[in-house]
């Protein structure tokens, strides 16, 4: 919840704070999904919340039919979610909040007395199944995985099938809602399991505060160039908070995200990005000055500056 809580009072309040309970908020999956719970905690139960399948959710946001959406984009164990590439392809990716939450998975069945050795199918969201893969492989080496659209959809689907040998990996809160029984309340994971969600809003977010994270989308021609850029950072005050890599549908083009500090440094960073033939797009933060800077950074592909000169580039600011 970093962005929200780091805001200083001298800056205008965000749209998030000014939103009304009448605005529709879209989330991924059926009620009871992990994303639903995050959305309800953020917006409050009196807001108008509605669950969607991912394609409809992203389409409705991109067409302006829904003002707010909440979508998981990254898992500390499974990496990027299937939605990140689609989010990055949105023309307006207005990140109002970056939400970081631990996620708990339960194993659920129609029959509380089912013999685990007889289980044939495990249904879950692909990201959730990936997060508990070592445990599942150990306990159910021969079971087939069935993908669901959300954790709650997984519980719903197993309940509908009403088959004793089918289990669901689902949010603890969704188990009882769908009439299932909990076999394991909190499936162990090999590493801390933390998922990140973006809340996208209806307008360009407000001016970034000094020290507030801002999001930058970097698109590069190949993975090596982006890896080199990642190695070259941090330079000066630019501390990347999180690198997220999402292959795009365009051949050979990869997208990365990096969170940077302060607009001054962001400018330096954009220069650094552009001299190496990558292009940067500012997201999740806005003011006219930064917008002008972004558009004035030339898309030069000068090869004579190496990334080891990153300090010089960033110090000189406009050395392209
Ligand atoms: O929101 C859900 O229920 C999902 O299935 C998406 C998801 C998957 C894994 C971790 C967090 C969210």
pLDDT in tens, 166-220: 999 999 999 999 999 999 999 999 998 999 998 998 876 654 444 455 566 666 6
Whether 96 is covered by a domain: the verdict is no
Q: What is the pLDDT of residue 109?
A: 98
Q: How far is the CA of 28 from the centre of ligand 1 (A)?
A: 8
Q: What is the mean pLDDT of residues 273-283?
A: 60
Q: How confident is the model at residue 234 (pLDDT cuts 50, 70, 90)?
A: low
The answer for residues whose C-beta is within 8 angstroms of residue 5's C-beta and 6 or more apart is none
Q: Who has greater pLDDT, 79 or 127?
A: 127
Token pair in block for residue 245:
């890599």
User: Is residue 222 domain-shared with residue 319, that is, in the same domain?
Assistant: yes
Q: What is the pLDDT of residue 71?
A: 97
**Given 149, 184, 219, which residue is the final one in a domain?**
184
User: Is residue 213 domain-shared with residue 140, that is, in the same domain?
Assistant: no
Q: Who has greater pLDDT, 44 or 288?
A: 44
Q: What is the pLDDT of residue 265?
A: 57
User: Is residue 138 domain-shared with residue 230, that is, in the same domain?
Assistant: no
Q: Please identify which residue in the block is written with the tokens 């998922």.
A: 195
User: Is residue 250 domain-shared with residue 303, that is, in the same domain?
Assistant: yes
Whether 170 is covered by a domain: the verdict is yes
Whether 141 is covered by a domain: the verdict is yes
Name the nearest CA neighbour of 92 among 217, 245, 259. 217
User: Is residue 226 domain-shared with residue 318, that is, in the same domain?
Assistant: yes
The answer for residues whose C-beta is within 8 angstroms of residue 73's C-beta and 6 or more apart is 80, 81, 83, 84, 87, 196, 197, 198, 244
Q: Please identify which residue in the block is written with the tokens 């004035």.
A: 296
The answer for residues whose C-beta is within 8 angstroms of residue 224's C-beta and 6 or more apart is none
User: Is residue 227 domain-shared with residue 286, that is, in the same domain?
Assistant: yes
Under 8 Å between Cβ of 271 and 313: yes
Residue 217: how many other CB atoms lie within 10 Å: 19
Q: Please identify which residue in the block is written with the tokens 């009882």.
A: 176
**Given 153, 184, 215, which residue is the final one in a domain?**
184
Whether 16 is covered by a domain: the verdict is no
User: Is residue 223 domain-shared with residue 267, that is, in the same domain?
Assistant: yes
Q: What is the pLDDT of residue 98?
A: 80
Inform me whether the pLDDT recorded for 262 exceeds 90. no
Q: How many domains does the chain have?
A: 2
Q: What is the pLDDT of residue 23?
A: 86
Q: What is the pLDDT of residue 132?
A: 97
User: Is residue 253 domain-shared with residue 167, that is, in the same domain?
Assistant: no
Q: What is the pLDDT of residue 137?
A: 97
- Name the closest-CA residue to atom 4, ligand 1: 150
Which CATH number is 318's domain given?
3.30.70.1150
For 294, the domain range is 207-320
Q: How far is the CA of 7 from the centre of ligand 1 (A)?
A: 28
User: Is residue 168 domain-shared with residue 261, that is, in the same domain?
Assistant: no
Percent of the chain with pLDDT over 90: 44
Whether 126 is covered by a domain: the verdict is yes
Q: How big is the chain, counted in residues?
A: 320
- Please, what's the b/e burial string for 5-20 (b: 16 or more CB within 10 A of its CB; e: otherwise)? eebeeeeeebbbeebe
Q: What is the pLDDT of residue 157?
A: 98
- Name the closest-CA residue to atom 12, ligand 1: 34
Under 8 Å between Cβ of 285 and 235: no
Under 8 Å between Cβ of 216 and 258: yes
Whether 98 is covered by a domain: the verdict is no
Angle at 295 between CA 254 and CA 63, to 5 degrees: 65
Whether 83 is covered by a domain: the verdict is no
CA distance 284 to 92: 10
ipTM exceeding 0.95?
Answer: yes
- Please, what's the b/e burial string for 84-117 (b: 16 or more CB within 10 A of its CB; e: otherwise)? bbbbbeeeebbbbbbbebebebbbbbbeeebeee
Which CATH number is 128's domain given?
3.40.190.10
- Tell which atom from ligand 1 comes closest to the C-alpha of 150: 5
User: Is residue 171 domain-shared with residue 262, that is, in the same domain?
Assistant: no
Q: Which residues line ligand 1 (CB under 6 A)?
A: 28-29, 33-35, 72, 75, 103, 125, 127-128, 150-152, 195
- Tell which atom from ligand 1 comes closest to the C-alpha of 149: 5
Percent of the chain with pLDDT over 70: 57
Q: How far is the CA of 150 from the centre of ligand 1 (A)?
A: 5
Q: How far is the CA of 318 from the centre of ligand 1 (A)?
A: 43
């Amino acid at each position: 919840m970093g962005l929200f809580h780091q805001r200083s009072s001298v800056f205008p309040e965000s749209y998030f704070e000014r939103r009304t309970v009448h605005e529709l908020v879209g989330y991924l999956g059926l009620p009871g999904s992990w994303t639903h719970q995050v959305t309800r905690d953020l917006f409050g139960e009196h807001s108008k919340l509605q669950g969607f399948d991912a394609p409809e959710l992203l389409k409705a946001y991109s067409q302006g039919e829904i003002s707010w959406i909440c979508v998981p984009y990254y898992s500390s164990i499974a990496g990027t979610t299937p939605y990140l590439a689609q989010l990055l392809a949105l023309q307006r990716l207005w990140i109002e909040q970056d939400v970081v939450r631990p996620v708990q998975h339960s194993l659920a069945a129609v029959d509380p007395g089912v013999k685990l050795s007889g289980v044939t199918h495990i249904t879950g969201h692909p990201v959730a199944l990936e997060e508990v893969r070592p445990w599942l492989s150990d306990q159910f080496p021969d079971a087939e995985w069935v993908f669901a659209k959300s954790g709650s959809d997984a519980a719903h689907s197993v309940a509908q099938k009403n088959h004793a040998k089918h289990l669901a990996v689902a949010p603890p809160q969704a188990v009882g809602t769908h009439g299932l029984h909990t076999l394991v309340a909190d499936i162990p994971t090999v590493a801390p399991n933390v998922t990140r969600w973006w809340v996208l809003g209806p307008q360009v977010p407000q001016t970034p505060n000094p020290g507030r994270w801002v999001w930058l989308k970097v698109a590069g021609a190949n993975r090596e160039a982006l890896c080199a850029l990642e190695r070259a950072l941090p330079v000066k005050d630019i501390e990347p908070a999180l690198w997220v890599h999402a292959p795009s549908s365009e051949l050979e083009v990869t997208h990365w995200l990096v969170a940077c500090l302060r607009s001054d440094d962001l400018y330096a960073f954009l220069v650094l990005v552009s001299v190496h033939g990558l292009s940067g797009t500012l997201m999740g933060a806005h003011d006219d000055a930064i917008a002008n800077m972004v558009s004035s950074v030339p898309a030069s592909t000068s090869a004579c500056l190496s990334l080891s000169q990153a300090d010089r580039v960033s110090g000189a600011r406009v050395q392209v």
